[in-house]
Amino acid sequence: MKPAEAQKRIAELREEVARHQRLYDRSRPEIADFEFDRLKRRLADLEREFPQFITDESPTQSIGDERAEGFARVKHRMAMMTLDNTYDEAELRDFHARLAKALETEDLAYTVEPKIDGVAVSLTYEQGRLTRAVTRGDGEEGDDVTANVRTIRGLPHELKGRLPPDVVEIRGEVFLTEEEFRRINQQQEEAGEEPYANPRNLAAGTLKQLDARLVAGRRLEIVLYGLGHCEPEVVDSQTGLQAQLQAWGLPVVEKFWAVRGIDAVWAAIRELDGLRRGFAYGTDGAVVKLDSFGQQRHKKIGFRGADASGQAEAARKLSPRWACAYKFAPDRAETRVRDIAIQVGRTGVLTPVAELAPVFLAGTTVKRATLHNADEIARKDVRVGDAVLIEKAGEIIPAVVAVLTDKRPADSRAYAFPKKCPVCHTAAVRAEGEVAWRCPNPDCPEKVRRRIAYFASKGCLDIDGLGEEIVDLLLKQGLIRTIPDLFRLKLEDLLPLKKSGEVWAGNLIAAIAARRNAELWRVINGLGLPQVGAAAAKELARTFRSLEALLVAGEDELIRVEGFGEKTAAAVHAWLSDESNRRLVRELIAAGLEPAAPAATGSVFAGKVFVLTGTLPMLSREQATAMIEAAGGKASGSVSRKTSYVLAGEEAGSKLDKARELGVPVIDEAEFRRMLGA
């Protein structure tokens, strides 16, 4: 390639890589991580071949910027770097050869760890106590997410053992387990919403929530493996750090290899590849590090810096030369697109789904894969009949990652995204700045079906026995058309629907009747107000105390609700002002729905904040929380000086220690019940 051609191609690649880096930093990637890494590698290779075109502005000379609005910025005591990637055994051996040459020995000790597909964070412990949690950000400074990280169960807020360092930064990854990811996506599907793409994006989005109560409801987890600033120093190797992290009582990686020589490194990586799908977290590679901190600091090794002249000492450190990430190729399979279908969500979002020729991938047979939206179909040029590559994003959700255009059949046809809702045929609309097309018809049968199922679901009214299958049956028989119709059902309406249906019909009528006085927050959550989940619904219930009061709430009143900002207040006010929504609420009231208001100010736990820890003898965590809230109190995820009581059961953890340290009263279940008068 001639220099002029290289300069042009470098400019094109820089623009493309920078765009995908911005999308990744916002947790909205358009391409798989593996493809992004390859794209960045092509740019780096060209810049090495033509170093005269390297500039500090190139995306190869930065680590991205994951900082978000609404969070305080905190400077890391020691920069948080990224790792250079390797993709095959030859590159891994080249990495070893460079270190062996610099250190003048082939006999090098390494550690091999799983590369966790999560969100990098740095925890600061001062005098053994957790004082701050910060995201990687731009490497030099990140977002203060301490309140959110404190909600993570299993993360001690105080280090075990005697004489911890005065100050220590401990690095790790926040993640969601596959089980938790599936649970949240099941709720999304029940709500008629598009499922989240992968656990990493959802974990990143959750960690950047401004409401710590929402974060607590999503069960983030953390694993720790790295060291930043430490004063005084307490370990001199990575293996020593692993032992120290465990001694401090911190969660660490499930499997850890300490080996000598590159052959043993390669064997460990192959062993990890066979084990990683059984881990609680997603892994996309292996991290290889020189074990000795002294060797890591050797003057001939050091760091790759952002200074184009190569003077790393004068520039921001980007990546250590003593470590690398070996990236596993994602599990992929080739199949063919038989058709493209449109799903209509509860809010009217039209989501395209590829109907595939069945193919076995990562342990399951895949028949469908999400295409996300119209722009995604156009960008990838996905056509009916195309041969495509699919992979499980985060090894969970099937997604189309590439079209094999060289195998495109002559009779393939471009997909025209529908201009109308495929169910009710109302013209679809797309709001300015949004990628989603929506059906605006409030009476669209599919929207109605999903709204009713969502209203009855566990996170809302929790009507026993009223799942999607029964909702479909009632709709098909014409017994219901709207949510209020549920409360108008009679026993005689249901008897003909099933053989020996008397017991079933009686149970369902009783279950619906039992929820006429459900908690107000459950009803508000079931209405599906925009940007309102369970935590926000509880705040609305506490503030307005009835559906009638909520219906006439002004935007100025809504913005004063705890946790609400201008955008949320405006969106909720717009929903409440819509006549079809107002009619729905009025019909619910007329149908006999009388939701229970939160406990009044004079209630036994009014103004009290509880923190639950350990396993209670008789009550689940959810039951105890419901009892606290019914009595006017609040349940919090972390202990502070504002905590009124810690309700502790068996195997209570660091929260119990924190309560004793702060002098917060600790009660057991028996005392809790006595206080309630139960």
Catalytic residue numbers read 115
The strand pairing partners of 610, in sequence order, are 635, 645
CA 225/CA 164 separation, integer angstroms:
17
Packing angle of the helix pair 3-25, 33-49 (nearest 10 deg): 150
CA 240/CA 245 separation, integer angstroms:
9
Host H or E run for residue 142? strand 141-143
179 burial class (0-12, 13-18, 19+ CB within 10 angstroms)? exposed
Whole-angstrom Cα Rg for the chain = 28
What is residue 436's DSSP assignment?
A: -
The strand pairing partners of 360, in sequence order, are 365
CA 247/CA 234 separation, integer angstroms:
12
244 burial class (0-12, 13-18, 19+ CB within 10 angstroms)? buried
Structure tokens at 394: 């985060």
CB atoms within 10 A of CB 585: 20
CA 118/CA 411 separation, integer angstroms:
42
CA 170/CA 76 separation, integer angstroms:
11
Structure tokens at 164: 């911890």
Structure tokens at 324: 């690398």
First to last CA, the chain: 81
CA 170, distance to chain mean position in Å, is: 22
Cα distances from 410 to residues 357, 416, 430, 612, in angstroms, run 18, 18, 33, 63
CA 164/CA 234 separation, integer angstroms:
9
Residue that has been written with the tokens 């395209």 in this structure: 352
CA 126/CA 129 separation, integer angstroms:
5
Cα distances from 355 to residues 190, 352, 625, in angstroms, run 21, 10, 43
CA 657/CA 356 separation, integer angstroms:
54
175 with 119: CB under 8 angstroms? yes
Label the pairing between strands 167-175 and 387-393.
Answer: unpaired
173 with 119: CB under 8 angstroms? yes
Host H or E run for residue 442? none
204 burial class (0-12, 13-18, 19+ CB within 10 angstroms)? buried
List phi, psi (to 5°) of 437. Answer: -90, 145
